Amino acid sequence: MEGYILTNQSDTIRGFVRDENWATSPDRIAFRNLNGEVSAYAAESIAGFGLVTAKEIYKSRKIGVLNINLMQPYMLAPSLETRDSVQVFLQEVVSGGVVTLFEFLDHTQHSRFFIEKEHRLKELFYYPFYKSVDNRNYLVVYDEYKKQLVKLCADAERFREPLPPYQEKHLKEYIKSYNAFFTKDSVRYLAENHRLAFNLELIGGVENWGEEMVIHNKATYGFGLRTDFPRKFRNRYVKASMLFTPGLPLGFSPGAFSKKTLRTLEVGLGRYFGSGGLRPFLGLNASIVNRGYRSDFLGMNVGISYKRLISVEVGHFANFYCFMTKTSFLIQPRISLHYFANLNFGQNRMR
């Protein structure tokens, strides 16, 4: 994507940054300058980078790392003293004024937030964990960040904003209000709120089926709605589609056959893999057939997409519902072409 790097000498070099849909905060990036030369930069070697289209800024910082495991019960409360440190790129959430707020995505893909004031970086501590007492586990939450925010804002005597939940949008507004207490021009950068992306799906293809009803290469069309998740989940989606297969001889006895349109409602979820223009995808979907002319199924679909805009899909080829209906596990697939029109106008769809 169009972007830039910030050198340790405070220079800005423009070019293209490889956006890898980071589920954890990156410690290195790939950058192509305007001459076409590609280089890898570790967090130790540059001050930061930015993605122009996505309007995201990342800064290199050395942070302490806590290893508190939510799945592991503790006899004693785990320590909040860090033993390990790592140099990574933290995403800037709010900057300008007195305090800068950063977000760190840890190895479990959870968000951790850091504040920087007077060139000192501190983590806002919020850690849930299980504590074992008398062979029973109790969920305990370290919410030390509330005391940290009170101490942070002690120099603003009339600042009375309620303490926020430990979530990006709430912490962002809190820090923004605190900075505004000192100066009206308090925001140099404010990360955009992350929204779901909605896409209208148009479908055309051929339907095949070989169970109670036998269908061979019958034209099928339809429409649907796909919802893409933002940020670290941006390669994942849920969708619902309505498909129509016209001109089928439907009925419950040979003498009662008539030409009708088979209507199929499908709902499912899936994910794309990778970050390039061509991305394979895998999905799990349930199918409900109008009037029961064909077995319902819970199956899989696979395919490949171009920029998540156009995709070729092999649908309903494996039926996990077969154990209930005593039908085949492998089914003749539907082959279809899908086009997605972005309904979030102005929002970057390539990520």
pLDDT, tens digit (0-9, with 9 covering 90-100), for 328-341: 777 788 899 999 99
pLDDT at 324: 67
Q: Where are the alpha helices (DSSP H) in the chain?
A: 145-152, 168-180, 322-325
Write down the pTM of the prediction. Answer: 0.71
Confidence label for 204 from pLDDT (cuts 50, 70 and 90): very high
- Per residue in 122-146, pLDDT (tens digit) is 999 998 888 888 888 888 888 999 9
87 pLDDT above the threshold of 70: yes
- The helix/strand/coil state of 324 is helix
Give the pair of three-digit tokens for residue 276. 């390039």
The Cβ of residue 35 has, within 10 Å, a number of other Cβ atoms equal to 6
Question: Distance between CA atoms of 282 and 117, rounded to whole angstroms?
Answer: 44
> For 69-78, 219-228, 254-263, which range has the lowest pLDDT when averaged over its residues?
254-263
Both tokens assigned to 34: 């305007």
pLDDT above 70 covers a percentage of the chain that reads 87
CA-CA distance, 101 to 82, in Å (whole number)? 20
Does residue 55 have a pLDDT over 90? no
Specify the pLDDT at position 189: 58
Residue 186 is predicted with a pLDDT of: 54
Q: What is the pLDDT of residue 42?
A: 95
Q: Which of 6-10, 106-110, 146-150, 324-328 has the lowest mean pLDDT?
A: 324-328
pLDDT in tens, 225-283: 999 887 666 788 999 999 998 887 766 556 656 778 888 899 999 998 877 788 999 99
- Identity of the residue numbered 21: N
Whether 66 shows a pLDDT value over 90: the answer reads no
Q: How confident is the model over 62-85, as a mean pLDDT?
A: 81
Buried b (16+ CB within 10 A) or exposed e, 246-283: eebebeeeeeeeeebebbbbbebebbbeebeeebebeb
pLDDT beyond 60 at 347:
no
Over range 164-185, report the average pLDDT.
Answer: 85
* pLDDT band, very low/low/confident/very high, at 165 (cuts 50, 70, 90): very high
- The answer to whether the beta carbons of residues 226 and 237 sit under 8 Å apart is yes
Question: Which DSSP letter does residue 232 get?
Answer: G
Rounded-to-integer distance, Cα 49 and Cα 7, Å: 9
Q: Are strands 236-250 and 111-117 parallel, antiparallel or unpaired?
A: unpaired
Q: Determine the pLDDT at residue 231.
A: 67
- β-partners of residue 21 are none
- Residue 291: the pLDDT is 66
Judged against a pLDDT cut of 80, whether residue 148 lies above it is answered with yes
pLDDT digits (tens, 9 = 90+) for 16-45: 999 887 878 999 999 999 999 999 999 999
Place 191 in a pLDDT band, splitting at 50, 70 and 90: low
How far is the CA of 83 from the CAs of 42, 101, 123, in angstroms?
22, 23, 14
- Write down the mean pLDDT value for the chain: 84
CB-side exposure of 85: number of CA atoms within 13 Å?
8
Query: Which one-letter DSSP state was computed for residue 77?
Result: P
Please say if the pLDDT value at position 350 is more than 80: no
Mean pLDDT of all residues in 1-13: 92
Residue 293's pLDDT is 65
* Cα–Cα distance, 192 to 1 (Å, whole number): 17
